[in-house]
Amino acid sequence: MLEFNHRKSDTQHARMRDRGIYLLPNLFTTGALFAGFYAIVQAMNGRFEHAAVAIFIAMVLDGLDGRVARMTHTQSAFGAEYDSLSDMVSFGVAPALVIYEFALQGMGKLGWIAAFVYCAGAALRLARFNTQIDTATDKRFFQGMPSPSAAALIAGFVWAMVEYGVEGNDVRWLAAVIALFGGLTMVSNFRYYSGKEINLRKSVPFFVMLLVVLVFVLISYSPPEVLFGGFVLYGLSGYADAVIQRVRRKPAG
């Protein structure tokens, strides 16, 4: 009887652990959520540079929470759902509102439609990603542009325009194109490199560290231009890959 009670107690503790919430990875997720919310507030106050930087901070924190969870073996169903909801705010709603407040609101219906296409694209992208987690897909690539990268494209554009003193109304059509490009590319079938096979706990050649240092130097020298240019190239890489794959499959005539 005593052994049975011990087993029952152990089972109850196991269930409590299953229902528990791991603090460490969810702290990063909460930080990303706060950064997305902060970006919305700053955009409403007309402080677009702060809003853009907040989206980039959310992107960094979002990239850390999953890796921290895997490295500390603290993955959970709650964390996955929480991360997805946080991503929708930080990389769906926030960038859409930031670019709308910055440049699109003067376009009337076309402006909010362009912002909504981006927001809806982020929601669809996240929903598709969640349904494909357990499927046997090539983990080296994302299907469609990932929402953090699309958000970084929006934030980089706004930050670069503010840096050069360009008024949003002067580039509203370009802003609409970028919003539509980001929204539609997220739900495309183009392949985007994920970097998931990179193991941070393994040794790397010396030149890799030199490249990392060079990237940090370039970003610190001129963050808006480098970040915006980098994510423009990343956004176009999926289209370039599709062209290359099509050319390879084309039979020689």
pLDDT of residue 141: 84
Position 47 pLDDT exceeds 70? yes
In order of 53, 180, 199, 210, 219, the CA distances from 226 in angstroms are 13, 22, 25, 18, 6
In order of 147, 201, 210, the CA distances from 231 in angstroms are 12, 26, 21
Domain boundaries, the chain: 17-249
Position 10 pLDDT exceeds 70? no
CATH fold label, 17-249? Four Helix Bundle (Hemerythrin (Met), subunit A) (1.20.120)
Which tens digit of pLDDT belongs to each residue from 118-166?
A: 999 999 999 998 887 766 566 788 889 999 999 999 999 999 999 999 9
Instruction: Work out the average pLDDT over 87-114.
Output: 95
- Higher-pLDDT residue of 225 and 20 is 225
pLDDT of residue 198: 66
Position 18 pLDDT exceeds 60? no
Position 169 pLDDT exceeds 60? yes
Position 252 pLDDT exceeds 60? no
- Higher-pLDDT residue of 250 and 226 is 226
Cβ atoms of 150 and 95 closer than 8 Å: yes
Distance, in Å, from the CA atom of 100 to the CA atom of 14, rounded to the nearest integer, reads: 48
Position 51 pLDDT exceeds 90? yes
Which tens digit of pLDDT belongs to each residue from 52-93?
A: 999 999 999 998 887 777 777 788 888 888 999 999 999 999
DSSP string, 91-136: IIIHHHHHHIIIIIGGGTHHHHHHHHHHHHHHHHHHHHHHHTTTS-
pLDDT of residue 77: 84
Position 12 pLDDT exceeds 70? no
Which tens digit of pLDDT belongs to each residue from 186-231?
A: 999 999 988 766 666 677 677 777 888 888 888 888 889 999 999 9
pLDDT of residue 8: 46
In order of 25, 71, 124, 207, the CA distances from 33 in angstroms are 13, 22, 19, 35
pLDDT of residue 17: 45
